[in-house]
Every structure is written in C-alpha cells, then in structure tokens.
C-alpha cells in the first residue's frame, strides 16, 4: 500500500454557486451528446482570460496533440463552441465574450491564500472559457484527467489568468495549475486541482476537511480539533483522499486508516462540521 504527500496551497475556502453560464453551456453540450443521462456526469471548469478574443482552436488542438496522453476525434466548431470526443468522453469548450460575474468569484478570491492578488487580478478580466466534460459516469477520474489536460492546453495557448472550479470553490493561478498538472501520472493524481483541502485554526485546535470528493461519489472527510501541525493535517487528508480515489476504496464507519501498518486512525461517520451532510471523521 503506497501513499502520496504533496503539500501545496492550491485551494481556498468558499461555497460559491457555479455561474449560471455553466448551466447554459451544459444544455448546449448535452443537446448533442447521446449518453444515458442516468449515468452521465458533467465535469466543469472555467478559465479567466485577459482579452476578449485570444482563443485559437488550431493552436489548442496542436498543443493538446503534443502534450496530452489523449487524441481528439470528431472535432467541430460552431457558434463559438468547439466540441470533440476524447477516449469516450464528450468535450466542449465555449468562448464567453464577457467576464465571469465578479460577485461569483469575489468570496473565493478573498480566501485565495495561494494567490494574494486574486481579487485585483481577476476584477478586470475580459472574457472566459467554459470547459465541459461529459463522460459515462463510470470513470470520473478519467474525465478529470481529460479536463486537466484540456485546461492545461488552453492555459498555454491563451492570455489566461487562472482557473475557477466552481463545484469545488477552487481558484488556481495559471502557473500553479500548469505545475501541478505537469506532475499528473499513473501514480499521482493532481488533487490540488480537483479537491479543496480546507483548514481551520481555532486556538490550539486545528481542523481540516475536503470539499470535492462528492464529485467522485465519495463521502467528504474531516479532521476535527486535532493537536497535530496544520501542514500534517493537510498532508494526511491529501494522502487519504489520494488512496481512496487511486484505489477505489470506500471508507466505512468503524474502520481505521493510517500511513503505516502500525498507525490506526479511527473513522466515524456523522454530521459534518465544516461540510454539509454526513462526513467521515478521521481521529488524527
């Protein structure tokens, strides 16, 4: 059993609803996608762009071909939306000639401790791109890997500022995103781009939680009032999240987990403290 530790501040705290433009794009996208809606699941991401028109579909396709593990098939471009298929997933990139409503990202930007000037930098972006991935719902990790490589190619080929993942309340600057995505491999999932690892410090008590495991049909995890160092709490949550997703594990109430054969951290299921619904509490 192998665990992975990667401490990085590529996430932030918020609960901002996703922009309604995403819903519009999803409807456009689903109109042409012939999948079982009971099984399919949409993965979404947005890219903030400095200028009104910096997206070049040919540059994007060339970059994706050179740097991605996947192949684009059946590409078409219509009404500022490029659609194509990648390894059984439908992909759509929509150009929106307006900025993301600032109110939708203002709260998130205030907590972007990995991007100190996020509020200032994003206030004057001119447009954005919406990336939608529609898979069969059976391999959400593959869909997120495709999303990561699509977004990375877009970041390299546009005058972009960063990425907004509304379902996870993640706001990630361009260079941080490209660095983390470059680490993605069969052994390493770039969870700092997919999951928010929230941290709370109240006096001597420190807590942490995940926000985004629900995207993978997994229960969110929390560590409550721990005496451990805050970086250790984040590292432990990262490792447990990576283990759960990489190995397809489902933790259950009463089980234990740990980073070694000797470590036995009790897992309990109860109402979440920092996350809505029930969460798995790790007694770390």
Asked if 152 and 243 sit in the same domain, the reply is no
Asked if 146 and 36 sit in the same domain, the reply is yes
Question: Is 254 within a domain?
Answer: yes
Asked if 97 and 113 sit in the same domain, the reply is yes
Q: Which of 147, 170, 192 is the last residue of a domain?
A: 192
Asked if 186 and 222 sit in the same domain, the reply is no
Question: Is 6 within a domain?
Answer: no
Asked if 147 and 220 sit in the same domain, the reply is no
Q: How far apart are CA 157 and CA 111, in angstroms?
A: 28
Q: Which of 143, 168, 192 is the last residue of a domain?
A: 192
Question: Is 11 within a domain?
Answer: no
Asked if 108 and 203 sit in the same domain, the reply is no
Identify the pLDDT of residue 210.
97
Q: How far apart are CA 155 and CA 174, in angstroms?
A: 7
Question: Is 52 within a domain?
Answer: yes
Question: Is 13 within a domain?
Answer: no
What is the side-by-side order of every strand in the sheet holding 160-165? 73-78, 81-86, 89-96, 127-135, 41-49, 160-165, 170-173
Identify the pLDDT of residue 10.
31
What is the side-by-side order of every strand in the sheet holding 278-282? 196-202, 205-211, 221-226, 278-282, 265-271, 256-257
Asked if 216 and 231 sit in the same domain, the reply is yes
Asked if 114 and 220 sit in the same domain, the reply is no
Asked if 169 and 230 sit in the same domain, the reply is no
Q: 93 and 81 in contact (C-beta within 8 Å)? A: yes
Number of domains in the chain: 2
Q: 109 and 103 in contact (C-beta within 8 Å)? A: no
Question: Is 1 within a domain?
Answer: no
Question: Is 228 within a domain?
Answer: yes
Identify the pLDDT of residue 156.
98
Q: Give the pair of three-digit tokens for residue 53.
A: 């028109």
Residues sharing a CB contact under 8 Å with residue 284, sequence separation 6 or more, in sequence order: 223, 226, 228, 233, 236, 265
Question: Residues 186, 9, 102, 201: is their CA dihedral positive or negative?
Answer: positive
Asked if 176 and 241 sit in the same domain, the reply is no
Q: How far apart are CA 152 and CA 185, in angstroms?
A: 14
Q: How far apart are CA 127 and CA 242, in angstroms?
A: 34
Asked if 120 and 259 sit in the same domain, the reply is no
Question: Is 9 within a domain?
Answer: no
Q: Which of 161, 192, 223 is the last residue of a domain?
A: 192
Identify the pLDDT of residue 157.
96
pLDDT in tens, the chain (284 residues): 233 333 233 332 222 233 333 434 444 444 444 444 445 689 999 999 998 877 899 999 999 999 999 999 999 988 889 999 999 999 999 999 999 998 888 888 877 778 889 989 999 899 999 999 999 778 999 999 999 999 999 999 999 999 999 999 899 999 999 999 999 999 999 999 999 999 999 988 999 999 999 999 999 999 999 999 999 999 999 999 999 999 999 999 999 999 998 999 999 999 999 999 999 999 99
Identify the pLDDT of residue 40.
65
Look up the domain containing 273 and give its range. Answer: 195-282
Q: What phi, psi does 77 have (nearest 5°)?
A: -130, 120
Asked if 269 and 158 sit in the same domain, the reply is no
């Amino acid at each position: 059993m192998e665990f992975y530790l990667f401490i990085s501040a590529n996430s932030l705290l918020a609960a901002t609803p996703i922009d309604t433009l995403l819903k519009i794009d999803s409807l456009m996208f689903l109109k042409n996608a012939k999948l079982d809606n009971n099984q399919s699941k949409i993965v979404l991401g947005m890219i903030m762009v400095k200028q009104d028109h910096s997206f070049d579909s040919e540059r994007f396709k060339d970059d994706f071909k050179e740097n991605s593990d996947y192949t684009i098939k059946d590409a078409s471009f219509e009404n500022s939306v490029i659609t194509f298929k990648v390894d059984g997933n439908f992909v759509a990139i929509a150009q929106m000639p307006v900025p993301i409503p600032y109110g939708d990202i203002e709260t998130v930007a205030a907590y972007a401790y990995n991007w100190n000037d996020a509020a200032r930098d994003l206030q004057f972006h001119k447009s954005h791109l919406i990336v939608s991935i529609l898979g069969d719902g059976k391999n959400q990790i593959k869909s997120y890997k495709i999303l990561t490589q699509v977004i990375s190619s877009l970041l390299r080929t546009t005058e972009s500022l960063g990425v907004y993942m509304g379902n996870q309340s993640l706001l990630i600057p361009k260079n941080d995103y490209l660095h983390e995505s470059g680490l993605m491999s069969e052994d390493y999932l770039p969870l700092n781009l997919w999951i928010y690892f929230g941290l709370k410090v109240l006096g001597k008590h420190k807590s942490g939680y995940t926000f985004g495991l629900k995207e993978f049909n997994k229960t969110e995890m929390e560590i409550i009032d721990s005496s451990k160092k805050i970086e250790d709490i984040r590292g432990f949550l990262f490792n447990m999240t990576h283990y759960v997703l990489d190995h397809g594990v489902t933790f259950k109430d009463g089980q234990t987990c740990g980073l070694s054969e000797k470590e036995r951290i009790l897992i309990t299921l109860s109402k979440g403290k920092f996350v809505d619904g029930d969460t798995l509490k790790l007694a770390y």
